[in-house]
Amino acid sequence: EAGVVQSPRYKIIEKKQPVAFWCNPISGHNTLYWYLQNLGQGPELLIRYENEEAVDDSQLPKDRFSAERLKGVDSTLKIQPAELGDSAVYLCASTATPQPVGNEQFFGPGTRLTVL
């Protein structure tokens, strides 16, 4: 079974440029998460999807960040325009259902973004 797929693995851009990250969750997983992981820190949730609906986006900086999951499968996270402080690893995770609680989240390898 294929795991969570993310692309690109690495991205280097100049500040003020746009950037997009793509995630394909494990087949059949209807819950998808985007996390931000700063260097030396734990992941922080940006947004959670149940199928195509964003059910928790309270931590997503909506002035420059956007996300979509149009068909309830793969998802795209966008930053426009990027700032120096956005340099981090962006992780995508998925899980089969929101219930029962305690379901394992499966993580992709992440996209490492460097903003110059």
Partner 1 sequence: AQSVTQLDSQVPVFEEAPVELRCNYSSSVSVYLFWYVQYPNQGLQLLLKYLSGSTLVKGINGFEAEFNKSQTSFHLRKPSVHISDTAEYFCAVSENNAGNMLTFGGGTRLMVKP
Give the interface with partner 1 as residue ranges (CB under 8 A). Answer: 3-4, 31, 40-45, 48, 56, 91, 93, 95, 98-99, 101-105, 107-110, 112
Q: Please, what is the minimum distance in Å from the beta carbon of residue 16 to partner 1?
A: 27
Angle at 43 between CA 40 and CA 45, to 5 degrees: 150
**Comparison of 4 and 79: residue with beta carbon closer to partner 1:** 4
**Comparison of 2 and 101: residue with beta carbon closer to partner 1:** 101
DSSP string across 64-75? TEEEE-TTSS-E
Q: Please, what is the minimum distance in Å from the beta carbon of residue 114 to partner 1?
A: 14
Question: Up-side HSE of residue 62: CA atoms within 13 Å toward CB?
Answer: 7
**Comparison of 14 and 56: residue with beta carbon closer to partner 1:** 56
What is the distance between the alpha carbons of residues 74 and 113, in angstroms, rounded to a whole number? 20
